């Protein structure tokens, strides 16, 4: 329940549903203590994490770990199934920005899922890596993610680091978990953000209504702590280009945080950004926006810069990638609109 890779989940597995009913003579008992006695091969901390992430409900309602189980309570627990995935090497081109004997820096294209999972067993970055590079190391309990240190959404483009040795995957993973790596993204968001720079805080967890998207829980009742720093790069009137620097790496963090503050990412279907949220009611403007949507397959989000310490030399390395052509076309179209519009 507590994912070791907390960045991005694409092609996630279907969850196994476990139903437990409280005894008719059940004495009041904390939910986490109640479950630890009934679920084999787990720990109280994992159960507490699962409860906090919204994977446990009582009588159809998501509750906290300190909820007292009562007689005849109906408890539903969602758990990832044990996975046995056979990964096949596939001759898929990879855009390699940097390579040495310890690590790779790749530029992921839109539409490519990082690793195999439910509904995406082929065509992933991992399938491609296995063809081009042999004996990539595994991380933790994951046997289907060789070399993978972190992830990006399927439709998010940009820079990723891949480990080539056991030493490097340990070293690089520690940098991400201890937050000593530096990840910067460019995002185009709806609206004219009032400030030039800022920080968005708020726990992020799976939506209690739709588990395919993430939700911000400002009170910290569910999810995990998350913080995103941003600064404005350019204003286009009805949209704003921002650079985001992650302090944490939660699933859909940038997308969920900007939705939370009222500025969804441009063309982000999952978070409402694929509709016209700002601008005029003129037909010409509407047509302009819809044509601009067509330039990119999904949210306008690009992992532009990655800074890490080399696993062996400890040299601080910075890698940068150009915006994909579609994203650049979107900015050019908005730039042209800004310069030619008549208020």
> Quick check: is 229 in a domain?
yes
Domain holding 45, by residue range, is: 16-79
Packed helices 283-293 and 325-340: angle between N→C axes, nearest 10 degrees:
160
Q: Mark which of 178, 194, 219 sits at the end of a domain.
A: 178
Regions of the chain short of the pLDDT cut 70: 1-16, 80-85, 140-143, 342-343
Asked if residue 114 and residue 74 are part of one domain, the reply reads no
> Quick check: is 114 in a domain?
yes
- Active-site residue set: 153
CA distance 166 to 140: 11
> Quick check: is 7 in a domain?
no
> Quick check: is 40 in a domain?
yes
At 265 the pLDDT is: 98
Number of domains in the chain: 3
Asked if residue 207 and residue 105 are part of one domain, the reply reads no
CA distance 273 to 223: 23
Structure tokens at 205: 């967890």
pTM: 0.80
At 144 the pLDDT is: 75
Q: Mark which of 163, 178, 193 sits at the end of a domain.
A: 178
> Quick check: is 84 in a domain?
no
Asked if residue 55 and residue 119 are part of one domain, the reply reads no
Asked if residue 327 and residue 201 are part of one domain, the reply reads yes
Q: Mark which of 134, 163, 178 sits at the end of a domain.
A: 178
275-283: list long-range contacts, CB under 8 Å, 24+ apart. Answer: 277/190, 277/191, 278/190, 278/191, 278/192, 278/238, 278/239, 279/238
On whether the CB atoms of residues 159 and 94 are closer than 8 A, the answer is no
Asked if residue 205 and residue 327 are part of one domain, the reply reads yes
């Amino acid at each position: 329940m507590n994912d070791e890779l907390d960045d991005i989940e694409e092609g996630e597995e279907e969850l196994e549903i476990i139903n437990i009913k409280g005894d008719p003579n059940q004495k009041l008992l904390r939910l986490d203590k109640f479950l630890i006695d009934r679920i084999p091969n787990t720990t109280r901390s994992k159960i507490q994490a699962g409860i906090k992430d919204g994977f446990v409900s009582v009588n159809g309602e998501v509750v906290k770990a300190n909820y007292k189980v009562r007689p005849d309570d109906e408890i539903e627990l969602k758990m990832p199934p044990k996975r046995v995935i056979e990964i096949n090497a596939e001759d898929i081109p990879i855009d390699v920005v940097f390579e040495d004997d310890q690590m790779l820096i790749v530029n992921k294209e839109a539409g490519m899922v990082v690793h195999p999972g439910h509904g995406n067993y082929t065509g992933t970055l991992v399938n491609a890596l296995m063809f081009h590079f042999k004996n990539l190391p595994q991380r933790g309990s994951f046997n289907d993610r060789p070399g993978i240190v972190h992830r990006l959404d399927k439709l998010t483009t940009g820079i990723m680091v891949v480990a080539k040795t056991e030493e490097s995957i340990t070293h690089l993973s520690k940098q991400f978990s201890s937050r000593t790596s530096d990840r910067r993204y460019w995002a185009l968001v709806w609206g004219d953000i009032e400030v030039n720079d800022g920080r968005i805080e708020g726990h992020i967890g799976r939506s209690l209504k739709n588990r395919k998207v993430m939700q911000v829980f400002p009170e910290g009742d569910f999810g995990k702590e998350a913080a995103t720093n941003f600064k404005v790069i350019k204003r286009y009137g009805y949209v704003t280009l921002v650079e985001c620097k992650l302090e944490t790496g939660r699933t859909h963090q940038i997308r969920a945080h900007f939705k939370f503050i009222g500025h969804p990412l441009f063309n982000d279907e999952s978070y409402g950004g694929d509709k016209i949220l700002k601008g005029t009611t003129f037909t010409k403007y509407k047509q302009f926006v819809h044509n601009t949507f067509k330039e990119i397959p999904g949210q306008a989000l690009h992992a532009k810069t990655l800074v890490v310490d080399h696993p062996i030399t400890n040299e601080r390395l910075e890698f940068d990638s150009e915006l994909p052509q579609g994203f650049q076309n979107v900015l050019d179209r908005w730039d042209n609109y800004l310069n030619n519009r008549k208020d």
